[in-house]
Structure 1
């Protein structure tokens, strides 16, 4: 029974990693790429976020909240970042160089491998 639980966990983590990678890649390949200004911070229901301000290809100015990365190097107020966003769903945003996004993907894949390994070891011990 433990084998099944570990395999289910491994599959779940793998699916989460693939979904995160697919969403990030979709924004990079199909989303709008703009240079954004870190205009400060805003309070959202999820806490404090960066306020990223940019001009759309149509010429309008937009301001989107973006969760403050854990390692916020290069995200200081007044700095410029490369931003990818979905014009139809502007809450879907990826800032190039945000290592916390890539770190989450790596953690999903590492957990999948660990759970798979533990499941195989448990199965071999029986």
Structure 2
């Protein structure tokens, strides 16, 4: 029974990792790429977020919230970042090089591998 639980956990982590990677890659390949300026911070339902301000290809100024990275190096007020967003769903945003996003993807894959390994170890016992 434990083997099934570890296998299910590994599968869940793998699916989560693949979803996160697919979502990020979709924004990078099909989303709008703009240079945005960190205009400060704003309070959102999720907590404090960065306010990223940019001009759309149509010439409109937009300001989107972006979750505050734990280590906000390179995200100080006034700094420039490369931003990918979905114009149809502006809540879908990715800042190029955000190590928190990339780290979360890596954690999903590492957990999937560890759970799978533990499942095999338990099968061998």
TM-score normalised per structure 1:
0.99
Q: In the TM superposition, what is the alpha-carbon distance from 1:65 to its structure 2 partner? A: 0.3
The 3-state SS of whatever aligns with 2:51 is strand
Query: Which segments of 5 or more consecutive residues in structure 1 lack a partner in the other structure?
Result: none
- Displacement after TM superposition at 1:14 (Å): 0.1
Residue 53 of structure 2: aligned partner: 53
Q: Show structure 2 runs of 5+ residues with no match.
A: none
- Aligned residues, how many? 125
Establish whether residue 110 from structure 1 lines up as the match of residue 110 from structure 2. Answer: yes
Corresponding residue for residue 2 of structure 2? 2
Name the counterpart of 1:122.
Answer: 122
Distance 1:2 1:97 in 2: 38
Give the drift of 1:13. 0.1
Alpha-carbon RMSD across the aligned residues, in angstroms, is 0.3
Query: Displacement, 1:118?
Result: 0.2
Give 1:40's aligned residue.
40
| Equivalent residue number for residue 28 of structure 2 | 28
Distance 1:14 1:71 in 2: 26
Q: Output the TM-score relative to the length of structure 2.
A: 0.99
Deviation at 1:94, TM superposition (A): 0.1
- 2-structure distance, mates of 1:66, 1:48: 9
Post-superposition, which runs of at least 4 consecutive aligned residues in structure 1 deviate over 4 A? Answer: none
Q: Does 1:79 align with 2:79?
A: yes
